[in-house]
Amino acid sequence: MIANNPVMDVFSGLDLKKIALLLDVDGTIVDIGPSPDEVQVSDILLRSLAQLHELSDGAIALVSGRRIGDLDRLFSPLALPSIGGHGAEMRVNDGEIFYWAKPLPIDLRRRLAAAAGIGSGIVVEDKGYSLALHYRKAPEHAEQLRRHIAAARTAFSAEPTELLLGKAMFEVKRPGISKGESIRKLMAHPPFSGRMPVFIGDDVTDESVFEVLPGIGGKGFSVSRYFPGLAGVFKDPAQVRSALDSLATNGRARA
């Protein structure tokens, strides 16, 4: 079910005055890099996002495992509405940030971060609410990282945590928060309220969004892999960027 021209046509024909556009970041609108700091955001993508924000009257949001501050740095000078930390924090158009989780204890994060000593190529990303261990540069250490994480969680068994699996990444985070539930909350705020949510994601970390979309009248697209109930699957982030550019172009033509 790889996206073809008809799927691209359906997406680029969406009415920006009636939808809320919700975009995962890594692996969806930007290509996954060797580490979180090694990704590229093109001027063309920044232009498309800025135009979509204007044409939708602000009803566009980034939905990411990254923290909102990191998203702002990555997409500077834009500061779009955002859901960060896999749902731990949310910012709407008025700029106020809502926090849904407390940071993990510093001792637990230090214990997890000690995984960097397992071998070169392991990247530690401390987000406060969670800590991610990326092993894209060191896939041979995946099983050892699993054991390290299990031991750390056992040592802090009184601290509620859950393990989130991503693309060449393990992340220990607070339980009870998810992108899906935070999107429910976002959709209660203007300018998102009363619109049809349209989400694009690429990974198992986005499953919670795909699960809630039917109940809130939404439409889901993914990148390179199929999830139940999708409206379509894009081939890769480059095709998503092309679709966003077409959506902005069509939106300008209607304005």
d(CA 255, CA 247): 12
Q: Classify burial at 207, counting beta carbons within 10 Å of its beta carbon; exposed 0-12, middle 13-18, buried 19 or more.
A: middle
Q: Which residue has the tokens 């539930």?
A: 181
DSSP bridge pairs for 165: 170
Task: Give the pairing of strands 162-166 and 130-134.
Answer: unpaired
Cβ within 8 Å of residue 100, ≥6 positions away: 87, 88, 89, 90, 177, 182
Q: Given 24, 72, 202, 203, which residue is catalytic?
A: 24
Please say if 202 is a catalytic residue.
no
Euclidean distance between CA atoms 255 and 239, whole angstroms: 24
**What phi and psi, each to the nearest 5 degrees, are found at residue 63?**
-130, 105
**CA distances from residue 221 to 12, 21, 28, 102 in whole angstroms, order as listed:** 12, 11, 10, 31
Which are the catalytic amino acids?
24
